[in-house]
A and B are shown apart, each in its own frame.
Chain A
């Protein structure tokens, strides 16, 4: 196996918010009947996180379970542990109509951090990012300008975004533009 490489070499930008690409993240796509016990157990056992409800994400850091659609979960794990986790999941899923697949190299992960992080995302995504509406524990699949992204809140003022790695450069440029110091709107931060 060739060494895993970040999609955009860990690019970083410091503006209204800090934008940076995160190191390679292990990801397993799990599809099946989310109400079935083996599917739920496969996800919770390898991550140690609880089973999220619809539109939710459970867990912290690089170990989490995200609800992607009525029949799909995204399992986040440290990159080196994916093969081991897959073997354990396959054992739990034996006989179940479900699929677990290593998708680690399909996507890039970015973090946007800072008091203006909400504003940066709100400029790019058709999502109500009011803190009263969108908070921790929510997984939001949507678009950023012309590409598909998904994001969740990873800290008090931090959001993690995932996109396909072929468009990582495009997303980084978008975030850089939205976080440009001269582009402050201050809509979620009236004191600014």
Chain B
């Protein structure tokens, strides 16, 4: 069972209260982009085994989107943070490094 702390309302939200929104921190490519960039943005996902950054929505609670860093193999949650960020904030990266010393932030 996954429990994430919603940074918008401060509730510890059970997985069943949340709605998954897929991978976080995608770079958006739109009109004028190359076909390769557009395909990568639209269809291709990292799907890593291990540390993963995800979008979640507190659908049955405050209704807001937020981002979460967790491990896809152990379900360990490293932290949740505001959706209005384009890269994992330093405290999240530090929390991950504390538990996964060999992990490197994706470029």
Q: Which residues of A contact B (CB under 8 A)?
A: 54-55, 68-70, 126, 128, 140-143, 148
In the bound assembly, the distance between CA atoms of A148 and B61 in angstroms comes to: 8
Do B11 and A55 touch across chains, with their CB atoms under 8 A apart? Answer: yes
Name A68's closest neighbour in chain B (CB-CB). Answer: B62
Partner of A141, one of B10, B12, B16, B60: B60
- Please give me the residue from chain A that is nearest to B16 by CB atom: A126
Residues on the A chain within 8 Å of B10, using CB: 54-55
- A-chain residues with CB within 8 Å of residue B25 when the two chains form the complex: none
Q: Within the complex, what minimum Cβ distance (angstroms) separates A164 from chain B? A: 12
Contacting A at CB under 8 A, from B1-31, are 8-12, 14, 16-17
Q: Is the interface of A mostly helix, strand, loop or mixed?
A: strand
A67 to chain B, nearest CB (A): 8
CB distance from B15 to the nearest CB of A (A): 8
Chain B positions within 8 Å of A126 at CB level: 14, 16-17
Closest to B61 in A: A141
Residue of A nearest to B15 (CB): A126
Q: Is the CB of A142 within 8 A of B60?
A: yes
Chain B residues near A148 (CB-CB < 8 A) = 60
B residues in contact with A54, CB < 8 Å: 9-10
Contacts of B62 in A (CB 8 A): 68-70, 141
Q: Note all chain A residues with C-beta closer than 8 A to B11.
A: 55, 140
Contact B60–A143 (Cβ < 8 Å): yes
Residue of B with least CB distance to A54? B10
Instruction: Pick the residue among A69, A70, A128, A142 that contacts B17 (CB under 8 A).
Output: A142
Q: Are A69 and B16 in contact (CB under 8 A)?
A: no
Name 4 extra pairs, CB < 8 A, besides A140-B11, A142-B17.
Answer: A55-B9, A55-B11, A69-B9, A142-B61
CB-CB under 8 A from B61, the residues of chain A are: 69, 141-142
Inter-chain CA distance A148–B9, complex, in Å, is: 16
A128: chain B residues within 8 A (beta carbon): 12
Contacts of B14 in A (CB 8 A): 126
Min CB distance A107 to B, Å, is 15
B60 cross-chain contacts in A, Cβ below 8 A? 141-143, 148
